[in-house]
Amino acid sequence: MKMTERKFAESILASLNQLDRDRYLSKRYIISIGKDIMKALLVQKLGDRTLYRESNLYSNIECIELEEIDVVKCPIVEFRTCNVVMRSKKPLPELLYSKYGPAIRMVTNIDTSEEIGRISLKDYVRNKKRQGYRKTPKYYTDSRGYLYIVDFEIELVSAEVLTLNSKQAEECGCGDFDECKSSLDYEMIGSHKLEMVVVQETLNRILGTYLQIPSDENPDKNRNSM
């Protein structure tokens, strides 16, 4: 969707406003419904691997800072025998997940000249037991969203991730971040092919409960407030 979260909410409000001007719904409530619907549709498409042709869906985090952590105290037990463990200073934005894991399309070094492969804990343990195991840089993400790179000392990486939270994606990078910018002014991420479906399903879901919401006792209240 090439629109901000604010514009998305306002388009829904404009349709609802034709039915009843005296009912109030917040923009953030409308956006949360739209994101839930988009998330469900995207996860389904991730499962059948039909999203990788749509590059505009992914947020490019150009600079992610990592720091070396004590391998003995590493919360990932399987990494405690590594020579070095690097972990991102900040967690990644909330990612979409499918049966294939987190929606991370690529992790590279800072100039994108070398791609860092993904590995599961099971594969990491199995590979280490193999004779002649070659320690090439691999990444892993834990349940809290932290990015780990093992057996390779690196302080900055880039990543392309699928998240519906543009603000979080900007916050987790090491570039300049405008703390005063409202989340409503960030792009409403989603597939162009699903845009009209999400708009219509958001309307349908709201209308399903719309008549159950008490009318605004003050008809002059600005329903376009946050």
Q: Which residues contact 107 (CB under 8 A, 6 or more apart)?
A: 115, 116, 118, 139, 147, 157, 158, 159
Decide which of 20 and 34 is more confident.
34
- Strand duo 97-98 + 117-118: pairing: unpaired
pLDDT of residue 84: 92
- Mean pLDDT to the nearest integer, 40-45: 92
Report residue 151's pLDDT band, with 50, 70 and 90 as the boundaries.
confident
pLDDT of residue 189: 86
For the stretch 175-179, contacts whose Cβ atoms lie closer than 8 Å and that sit 24 or more positions apart, written own/partner, are: 175/62, 175/63
pLDDT of residue 223: 46
- Mean pLDDT to the nearest integer, 5-19: 88
pLDDT of residue 17: 80
Report residue 72's pLDDT band, with 50, 70 and 90 as the boundaries.
very high
Q: What is the dihedral of CA 146, 151, 154, 160, to 10 degrees?
A: -50
CA distances from 205 to 35, 145, 166, 177 (A): 12, 30, 24, 34
| Range of weakest confidence among 16-20, 72-76, 100-104 | 16-20
CA distances from 125 to 84, 196, 212 (A): 15, 45, 54
Report residue 88's pLDDT band, with 50, 70 and 90 as the boundaries.
very high
Decide which of 222 and 198 is more confident.
198
